[in-house]
Amino acid sequence: MQLGKWVGLLALGVSIYLLWSIRQVLLLLFAAVVIATVLNRVVRVLRRLHIKRGFAIPITIALLLLTVFGIFAIILPQFINQLQNLSGLLPAAIERLSNLYDWFQSRIPGAALGENQGINRLLDQAQSLISSTVGNFFTILNSSINVVVSLLLVLAATVMLLVNPGSYRRTFIAAFPAFYRDRVDDILSQCEHSLVGWFQGTLAGMVTIGTLSYIGLLILGVPLPLVNAILAGLLEIIPNLGPIISAVPPILLGLLDAPWKGFAVLILYFLIQQVESLALVPFLMKRTVSLMPLFTLLSVVVFASLFGLLGLFLAVPLLIVVQIWLQEVLVKDVMDRWQVPSSSPSREQLP
């Protein structure tokens, strides 16, 4: 191999290593790009109302901050109070579930269940994990300076991107050959359209699922309905896994109050997810790309393992962008235009 190829290979390896070393920063930048893309649509709406962009941007940011702080001011105090109660109730709920299992085991012949203690061990481990995690929640939250720094970085990058998105877009497009820049601009427009559609659909889904969960839990009389409804709404951003995780605390709390309530909560969350899957998602996700459920689940697992909690929440927008680029560049611009060389034998000539 020539020296130039070795140098190029070494440069490629160093570049990959450097990008991997700053992967968290790049992921935060991607989060800022997604937020700025969504907010830029709001700025465009204000521009259509004959408001200058210099005024539309601070109005948009002010509306965002007022909405976030307003929600926190109204909900956060009650949420913290119920979360503290949840930390004390969950261990008792798990113990109640363990007692129900023991009762069920005593009513069935020994040959059916044998001496298997796997469920008991699983319940003990779950109780220990929940107690340590929920009990130390506020300590972890207060000592997590990195979270605050990351949020400030995302906010600053979002404002910078929002002030002059055209310059950053042109800089990105300039990294491609001149003959392909119009095509890149079109792909970026598709990404923008799909990301905005995903955000609108996800936000509507979170509000709908949270509201339905709160009403259902209130009707059933399950303790701490607000905190469980907020968890159900927030975890809606994690496809497939989020709804399952959000159903565990209210089911345990229902079992603690009365055994039938645990099963009623299970049925409630199942019905809510059916409404979401059959009616809400098809209606809300018309503007985004079609994501296969298996690929969505794999993306959540892969991005969470590679990038941690931030990758878990950004798995779907990352998958949307990756799918669009693969479909447009690899499939349409490369694979679909791949021509068989004229010198190659045709199928009829092959033995």
pLDDT digits (tens, 9 = 90+) for 270-280: 888 887 777 66
pLDDT at 164: 85
How many residues can be counted in the chain? Answer: 351
Tell me what percent of the residues of the chain surpass a pLDDT of 90: 10
| Closest C-alpha to 241, from 170, 191, 316 | 316
Give me the mean pLDDT over the 29-33 stretch: 91
Count the Cβ atoms, other than its own, within 10 Å of residue 85. Answer: 14
pLDDT at 186: 95
Give the span between the Cα atoms of 226 and 46, in whole angstroms.
Answer: 34
DSSP-based three-state secondary structure for 332 = helix
Tell me the pTM: 0.72
Q: Say whether pLDDT at 184 is over 90.
A: yes
Give the span between the Cα atoms of 199 and 210, in whole angstroms.
Answer: 16
pLDDT digits (tens, 9 = 90+) for 192-249: 988 888 888 888 888 888 899 999 999 988 877 887 888 888 888 877 778 888 888 8
DSSP run (H or E) holding 184: helix 181-220
